[in-house]
DNA sequence: GATAATTCTTGACGATCGTCAAGGCCGAGC
DNA sequence: GCTCGGCCTTGACGATCGTCAAGAATTATC
């Protein structure tokens, strides 16, 4: 229910309060910024370049954000929301352990191809947070979210398998993230076979998390 | 046998040819640069700051190196040489699988504490190489060297265990590197328990690489 | 000890960065 | 229709960057 609604154009209920428009602009700016950041990385993406890739001019950034860091952190949090539920379908629709692993591996490969710029930005930001303390809070929050996301997959796999994971959630995330990061670098270097080998790695690794080698290997 | 040896001061054989001095200066400069890079990261370490942390002035960099990238790449390669043999003792002196894992884990924890700046720099550079193509060759070379280093540990563990690894070398490296990277971030965030939990993770993970859960878990 | 080559310092250049203030644009409200 | 207040552009600011040229300082050579 909007307060102080305008008397004109009451077409739909609770539409377009000024605060909404403000948030919408912030979202649009953050989207442009994410595109530029994914292309140039944290250090080389200037506010002017970010604005050039949007429909606004470079001065507008300081109207919607305090400074560059405020924009970056907002971008990062906005990005988190889009990727945290990426594997929910996989978890939900799997009915066998093998099917889950297969769907998970396929989704990982899709992500590697479709969202490579976003993910190299993520690894860039995580590395920057090792130097810049002001980035750590946002980075750690995302890292925890990603760990939870991976853990939902592992837990579902455990349920389908009827066994308990041999490693805690942080370890599982660290290992799988390491594999993905390696595959991303190879993919960006033009390696084609990395797509199949990442899938193979995941197929082999998931059972290992339960101390069970995959059959026929 | 030095060519065109100076007639004066022939004290020792083939000492201090001009080229040697040149290389020595490059090494000293690269050492200073590595200190600064480890403190500030790739993006924020300027040539002036690097020179300030050395005994030279900022102009001298372009006397010994073509440009900033040339310096960085040389730094990275110099750093590689110091860390690639870090686990050789561990491999050589281990007589049981458990002893090897224990020594390896301890060495990893030592490295995490003692060389944290160097390793966050490494992760920074690897992330930058995802954007900057001119960094990739040097980064990939180091990555391969590190993979080989880890693989020597795993192979030795396999021999002591009398079994074959369940994963190829790249997978083993990716997984362990992921664990180390996670632990480094936690360590830089002031976590104290990460030291013991990294060791525990490694103790648990090494047997998993062979499809064998550690006993009593 | 004079001369030549090497090594290093200094200062400047143009470019680019984040930031901010001044002002124009434009629709809402009286 | 005029005004007023949010929204956005423009242009400038100081700072800092990589790079380089000119010359001082040091070392080597005869």
* A134-163 pLDDT per residue, tens: 999 999 999 999 999 999 999 999 999 999
Residues B18-74, CATH architecture: Orthogonal Bundle (1.10)
Shortest distance between the Cα of A45 and any Cα of chain B, in A, equals: 11
Between CA A200 and CA A183 the distance in angstroms is: 12
Residues in chain A with pLDDT < 70?
1-18, 212-217
Task: Mark residues 28-57 of chain B whose C-beta is closer than 7 A to nucleic acid strand D.
Answer: 44-49
pLDDT of residue B80: 83
Nearest CB neighbour to A131, from listed B41, B131, B197: B41
Give, in order, the Cα–Cα distances in Å from B28 to each of A25, A137, B67, B80: 51, 36, 16, 16
User: Per the CB < 8 Å rule, is A208 touching B212?
Assistant: no
Topology (CATH level 3) of domain A20-67: Arc Repressor Mutant, subunit A (1.10.10)
Phi, psi of B15 (to 5 degrees): -90, 135
pLDDT at B82: 85
Q: Is the CB of A8 under 7 A from strand C?
A: yes
For chain A, give me the number of helices (H) and strands (E)? 10, 0
A177 interfacial to chain B (CB closer than 8 Å): yes
**What local confidence, expressed as pLDDT, does residue A82 receive?**
85
Span(s) in chain B for CATH 1.10.357 = 84-208
Comma-separated ranges of CATH 1.10.10.60 domains in chain B = 18-74
Check residue A17 and give its pLDDT.
Answer: 66
In which residue ranges of chain B is pLDDT below 70? 1-18, 212-217
Fold of B84-208: Tetracycline Repressor; domain 2 (1.10.357)
**Distance (Å, whole) CA A129 – CA A135:** 5
pLDDT at A12: 39
Name the segment(s) of chain A with CATH classification 1.10.10.60: 20-67
Question: Could you tell me if A215 lies within 8 Å of chain B, comparing CB atoms?
Answer: no
pLDDT of residue B212: 63
């Amino acid at each position: 229910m909007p307060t102080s609604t305008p008397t004109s154009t009451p077409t739909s209920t609770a539409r377009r309060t000024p605060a909404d428009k403000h948030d919408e602009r912030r979202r649009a700016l953050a989207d442009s910024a994410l595109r530029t950041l994914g292309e140039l990385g944290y250090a080389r993406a200037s506010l002017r370049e970010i604005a050039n890739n949007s429909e606004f001019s470079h001065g507008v950034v300081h109207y919607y954000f305090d400074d560059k860091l405020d924009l970056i952190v907002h971008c990062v949090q906005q990005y988190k929301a889009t990727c945290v539920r990426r594997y929910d379908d996989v978890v939900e629709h799997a009915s066998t352990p093998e099917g889950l692993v297969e769907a998970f591996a396929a989704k990982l490969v899709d992500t590697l191809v479709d969202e490579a710029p976003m993910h190299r930005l993520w690894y860039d930001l995580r590395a920057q947070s090792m130097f810049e303390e002001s980035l750590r809070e946002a980075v750690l929050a995302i890292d925890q979210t990603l760990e939870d996301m991976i853990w939902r997959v592992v837990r579902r796999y455990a349920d389908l398998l009827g066994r308990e994971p041999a490693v805690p959630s942080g370890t599982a995330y660290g290992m799988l993230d390491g594999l993905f990061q390696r595959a991303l670098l190879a993919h960006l270097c033009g390696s084609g076979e990395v797509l199949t080998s990442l899938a193979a790695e995941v197929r082999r690794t998931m059972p290992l998390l339960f101390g069970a080698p995959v059959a026929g290997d």
